[in-house]
Amino acid sequence: MAENTNGRALLTIDNLKMHFPIRKGVLRRIVGAVKAVDDVSFDIMPGETLGLVGESGCGKTTIGRCIVRAYTPTGGHILYGADDSGVDLARLEESNLKAYRRKIRMIFQDPYASLNPRMTVFDIVADPMRIHNIASGSELEDRVNTLLRQVGLRPEHMRRYPHAFSGGQRQRIGIARALALEPELVVADEAVSALDVSVRAQILNLMLQLQKDYNLTYLFISHDLSVVEYLADRVAVMYVGKLVEMAPTNELYNNPRHPYTEALLSAIPVPDPRRRSKRIVLEGDVADPANPPSGCYFHPRCPYAKERCRTETPHLRTVGPKHIAACHFAEELELTGIPPLED
């Protein structure tokens, strides 16, 4: 189970599993399962940003959707609440989820697909407040007006439709919608990956400012480790449905303990030649979550793999202060991170 200091974690993921059945034949019988998330545990403290990273298909988006209960987990627990009134979201019936959907909101990846083209900006942002009976009439319009200003949009444009806005502006609309119910936890699923590079910094700075203004807690899901380095307090690395490493951001970037993390870090473009490391190109394909290899899932691509890696599954264990990794040789390997900038 993830570390939870005196029950003060806002969200604790405990042995979470999300398996999707594979059906074949005329009778659509279940012949297997895609283990999109397989026995993952971590926690998020109030006010922090946890970055969740990994290649496409590793299960990070599935975790986000389990947290907001777009998916009902196959197993495990999603414990929400920093006090004694916490609840297991994984076990709640659909009829009891409405109150928690006010507290946990999501920012989606694609600002073009996540906004209804037939709704005005006003209706998009106001809709959650209508559903939860928070405001109506002039009060509702005032609230939308304030939210649009806070995300850097002009309130006089609230009667326009999404097609009239750029990608960055649309994502600001999505952020305003996520904040409409004054949530505690925001799940940002690749929130800047679909945006132009010139716009990403603006959105990231906006998210940091809103975190201060609203006392928000973020789960920031991304495949871009350079973005995560800027935003996250801690980073969790996933590979084929499993958590393979987690540590405070500076510690993980400077001192990775898992070969997969080392390879991810080597792909970050670093403009300063003093911090640049040699690119590690992994051979082979990502393992199939429906038919993963034996032992360590990463061993077919790992340049450091030994016979033990092929037969024995490594478990997450402490390898340094607030640093956990799932590698048999985490203490022995001398892995290369991104060196700190020297004066």
Does the pLDDT at position 1 exceed 60?
no
Place of tokens 């495990």: 76
- Average pLDDT for 2-31: 82
Q: Which DSSP category does 341 fall into?
A: P
As a whole number of angstroms, the distance between CA 234 and CA 221 comes to 12
Going from the C-alpha of 106 to that of each of 118, 176, 315, the distances in angstroms are 21, 11, 31
Domains of the chain: 5-232 (3.40.50.300), 256-343 (no CATH)
Give the pair of three-digit tokens for residue 250. 């500076």
As a whole number of angstroms, the distance between CA 312 and CA 306 comes to 10
C-alpha dihedral, 47 to 48 to 52 to 53, nearest 10°? 140
Q: Which DSSP category does 99 fall into?
A: H
Place of tokens 């998916």: 71
Q: What is the largest CA-CA distance in the chain?
A: 69
Residue-wise pLDDT for 289-335, tens only, equals 999 999 999 999 999 999 999 999 999 999 999 999 999 999 999 99
Going from the C-alpha of 221 to that of each of 35, 54, 55, 132, the distances in angstroms are 19, 9, 11, 27
Does the pLDDT at position 74 exceed 60?
yes
DSSP per residue, 14-31: EEEEEEEEEEETTTTEEE
Kindly indicate the confidence band of residue 2, based on its pLDDT and cuts at 50, 70 and 90. very low
Does the pLDDT at position 99 exceed 50?
yes
pLDDT value, residue 272: 65
Percent of the chain residues topping a pLDDT of 70: 94
| List of residues 6+ apart from 334 with CB closer than 8 A | none
Cβ atoms of 125 and 177 within 8 Å: the answer is yes
- Average pLDDT for 210-228: 93
Residue-wise pLDDT for 116-155, tens only, equals 999 999 999 999 999 998 888 889 999 999 999 999 999 9
Cβ atoms of 104 and 166 within 8 Å: the answer is no
